[in-house]
Amino acid sequence: MKRKDIRTWPEENKFELYDQIGTDANGVRCKEGSCFPDVTVDYGNIHILTDVFSLEKWFHLRRTKGG
Q: In the chain, what is the greatest distance between 2 CA atoms, to the nearest angstrom?
A: 34
30/34 Cα distance (integer angstroms): 13
Low-confidence ranges of the chain (pLDDT < 70): 24-25, 33-34, 66-67
Residue 5 DSSP symbol:
E
> What pLDDT does 28 receive?
74
Q: What is the pLDDT of residue 65?
A: 78
What is residue 12's predicted lDDT score, i.e. its pLDDT? 97
